[in-house]
Homo-oligomer: A and B are copies of this chain.
Amino acid sequence: MKMNAFYAQSGGVTAVINASACGVIETARAHRDRIGKVFAGRNGIIGALTEDLIDTSRESRSAIAALRHTPAGAFGSCRYKLKGLDEGRAQYERLIEVFRAHRIGYFFYNGGGDSADTCLKVSQLSKTMGYPLTAIHVPKTVDNDLPITDNCPGFGSVAKYIAISTMEASFDVASMARTSTKVFVLEVMGRHAGWIAAAGALASTRDNPLPIIVLFPEVTFDEDRFLAAVKKKVEQFGYVSVVVSEGVRNADGAFLAEAGSRDAFGHSQLGGVAPVIAGIVKNALGYKYHWAVADYLQRAARHVASQTDVDQAYAVGKAAVEMALKGRNAVMPAITRTSDAPYRWKITEAELSRVANVEKKMPRRFISRDGFGITPGCRAYLEPLIRGEAYPPYRGGLPRYVSLKNVAVAKKLDTAFSL
């Protein structure tokens, strides 16, 4: 019996998660003999729980192809974390109930560490319940914090955006530093892992060295050492750009910009460390400053996406379907780097049990001895990931991003589920 597939996007979206969706859907369409329709969860996994499914077969070939160059989550995403198997058994049983009703035999879950965990649990419970399900996790996270895979789709594009933005702002500040702003602070994402902040350091190249200080969440913030570093750069170059991760903490372990609220996963809601850093500099050194907070702009910046990233995002979506067709279960397509120069990579298979709930931070050997920059090894790691410009098509000066029709699948259950 030919089974349908279910695809859902999870957590914060990226510039290229839709390229993974494109890879899943196009590859499934190429195997119509074995896979029926691809249903997508409206707003992620909660679309499955509430039986709010989207029929992707109603989308044209060109609309699906356009997902490859469209940022954000075309079907909607959510930060809804399923509980543990015991505590949240009703949630998992509901998922299976909906899957059974819509003859869903393939589950493709596109997300980070939390969704890898969910994917694994769904796989386990379906086995316990005797429901035949193939569950494959498709990696995605701007934070680049998944284990096993060399890097995460979504990261390369935000890294490219931050590297370019840091370079451009540094050129700007350099122009004006003689009489105006001497310190520019750019706040970037990365709650616990400093990968995105590290990308700011790529702006300084051998051909064109720029004064950049990176503040990593992996390195405890030391105000005196930071101020000394700022002063030194300003005295040497006339200015400095500071790239600060939202997750930077002081010696007490407190976020420099703790906003107090928490999201559904229990993560603190951060934001606003840039003005804190700027204020520290202004008070101690008196330098004129400017600060920027890139926020969603960084992870949505499909207009300057990395070609490597787009290619890999598509590849993991495609590989997920191929693994499912090979009968693999509870696995994730991972990116394995086979060579730095020339950069070469291939898709390999990772057991979900080794992926779930493991957070990959920046290794110490990637952070320079003074804690304010990256090592040559880190540069060699990062540089291929931002390579290539995957420009979207334009019309009238604006990118032609697609909005899908997102036609609902008729409900088959008369049961409701409250989130």
Which A residues contact B (CB, under 8 angstroms)? 9, 12-13, 15, 43, 46, 70-74, 76-80, 160, 163-165, 167-169, 171-176, 178-180, 184, 186, 202-203, 205, 208, 263-264, 271-272, 274-275, 290-297, 299-304, 306, 383-389, 391, 394, 396-399, 401, 403
Q: Is the CB of A72 within 8 A of B171?
A: yes
Q: Is the CB of B71 within 8 A of A180?
A: no
**A–B complex contacts, Cβ < 8 Å, 25 sampled:** A70-B171, A72-B175, A73-B175, A77-B176, A78-B176, A78-B178, A79-B176, A80-B179, A167-B398, A168-B300, A173-B296, A179-B264, A202-B398, A205-B396, A290-B295, A290-B296, A291-B293, A303-B304, A304-B304, A383-B397, A386-B396, A386-B397, A388-B397, A389-B391, A391-B391
Q: How far is the CA of A70 from the CA of B164 in the complex (A)?
A: 12
Copies in the complex: 2
Q: Is the CB of B294 within 8 A of A72?
A: no
Residues of B within 8 A of A205 (CB): 396, 398
Q: Is the CB of A293 within 8 A of B296?
A: no
Known pairs A388-B397, A397-B383; A303 contacts B175 (CB<8 A): no
Residues of B within 8 A of A186 (CB): 297
Q: Is the CB of B297 within 8 A of A168?
A: yes
Residues of B within 8 A of A293 (CB): 274, 291-293
Q: Is the CB of A171 within 8 A of B78?
A: no
Q: Is the CB of A168 within 8 A of B72?
A: yes
Q: Which 7 pairs between the two chains have the least Cβ-Cβ distance?
A: A73-B175, A292-B295, A386-B397, A168-B300, A72-B171, A43-B178, A172-B300
Q: How far is the CA of A297 from the CA of B173 in the complex (A)?
A: 11
Q: How far is the CA of A12 from the CA of B173 in the complex (A)?
A: 10
Residues of B within 8 A of A290 (CB): 271, 295-296
CB distance from A84 to the nearest CB of B (A): 20
Q: How far is the CA of A274 from the CA of B272 in the complex (A)?
A: 11
Q: Is the CB of A175 within 8 A of B76?
A: yes
Q: Is the CB of A171 within 8 A of B71?
A: yes
Q: Is the CB of A79 within 8 A of B398?
A: no
Residues of B within 8 A of A167 (CB): 398-399, 401
Q: Is the CB of B174 within 8 A of A72?
A: yes
